[in-house]
Structure 1
Amino acid sequence: MRRVLEYYRAGVDGISFWDTYARMWRKSEWSAIRLCGHREELERWEERARSFWRKVRVDSIDGISLDPRYGVQTHG
């Protein structure tokens, strides 16, 4: 989001994304990308966009360790 604002301030005409089907599908990413074309609203969205991402540490799922020292096939 900040980089898009920098580009607009530097004078670019627009922002384009391609091969988006090959990217990791995350709702937060699409929430941010959809705003990039709304140049006149982008300044107001910069603060709100911080709420699109949330980081939560997950150590296990249903008792199965996600510790990277153990491969998925070993089931911890």
Structure 2
Amino acid sequence: MTTTTTATTTTTKKEKKKKKKKKKKKKMKKKKKKKKKKKKKKKKKKKKKKRKKLYGDITVSLRDSATGCFAGLIFLRTG
């Protein structure tokens, strides 16, 4: 019967800490990229909603700039 032994390399505590820090930095970069992508998508949606109020005889949900949310105001267009 033959026994196989795997060569193990000894790493110091400092080296282990460096590896952990590198992994954390990579994760943080990925998170930041994801957040940026989400913000871009939201901005595109807002533009589409603003365009809606030009068509039809009733315009709904004009943007309330003071609160930053949609105010449920209905304006009747005359003419």
More strand as a share of residues? 2
Q: Which has the larger radius of gyration?
A: 2
Does TM, normalized by the shorter one, top 0.5? no
TM-score computed with the length of structure 2 as normaliser: 0.29
TM-score between the two structures when normalised by the length of structure 1: 0.30
